[in-house]
Structure 1
Amino acid sequence: MTLTALPRSSALVVVDMQQGFTDPVWGTPVDLAGCRSRVRDLVDVFEAAAAPVVVVRHDSHEAGSPLAPDAGGNALFDEIAAVEPAVLVTKSVNSAFLGAPDLNSWLHERGIDTVVVCGIQTNMCVETTARMGGNLGYRVIVPLDATTTFELTGAGASADAATLMRITGINLAGGGFAEVCATADIGF
């Protein structure tokens, strides 16, 4: 899919690009290095266009979580920590729209109607943020190759990370929540 140029009323939402996702507790992500590089590419595109970059950080309340505020894994990856975000949203649930400060209000106050969502985990916080953004009326774009996730087991079944990423793309696009594309398709 090739997108037309993004409108000036766009923001990049970088979700949970945190060092704790290298902890073995998660398993092995799909192409974490590539995800990190492509997220940084998106930041560069938005910074060059003087468009806002929103950085989202997950502050887990679970005891022993590598994403807990007092854990080293709560820190952002270096390439995102170096970014001067327009706003830093902290959250303890899946959706960036349920963090602080209130992302929906922040976007509305600035006339932003399009969000590009990227980061970690594809099928968790990225997908939940994208779905909620779609429900709130935003045009949501997810460059799937600028996300990553891990194998998941539940309800007596499991799926590998690549399958979960593919299914997330189907859910978002097929469900009308978001446009799914590649990082190379994003531009102003």
Structure 2
Amino acid sequence: MTRRSNDSYYPLNGPVFQRFCSQILPKIHHKVEWLNLESSTMKDILLCTNYPNLYGLGLYNINKEYAFRIFTDETPLIHIFQSKISSLVVDIPQKSITGRGNSITDIFTAILTVCSKLEYFRFGPAYCCQLRFQNPPTISSSTLLEMHVRVECFVDCLYLLDGRFDQLQRLSVSIDRIASPQIIIANKINCTN
């Protein structure tokens, strides 16, 4: 449901998009299992019909404020994320990362809080969506099997591996900085030398 050119995602629009939402999607809705969507058309596409077999979403070109809002506000989209989605890709463009507002880590936390059935999660793109936990995070998941993220430092990676994701089988993590502070994780003092 997106066009990609030069590593950028562009929405479908105009009469073709309207016809797709009003005629095509309602006819094939029961066959749709995964949708890759661009943020400006996401709401229209997700709400134009019911998708009984939808399990996966790719959300592309979504700015951080909109991402935070759709995973925290009481919107019709919340029900879809809570009840159906087991695979999720969130792609926040770098130009949206800087500035005020919610942090990338706040969005990451909101997603894992709302998406209670999540088994696969790629939060990226990895070159700009850098997680940084000021304190040990309060999130956990007993369903997440695979996660792809970028963290600021090694301590942030250790927080992801301290047991809060007890079913995690595959973790792909990019670490920006490996430092050697003394840290406390799971009530144990560790030195990352």
TM-score normalized with structure 2 length: 0.31
TM-score normalized with structure 1 length: 0.32
Whose helix fraction is larger, Structure 1's or Structure 2's?
A: 1
Whose strand fraction is larger, Structure 1's or Structure 2's?
A: 2
Higher relative contact order (CA 8 A, sep 6+): 1
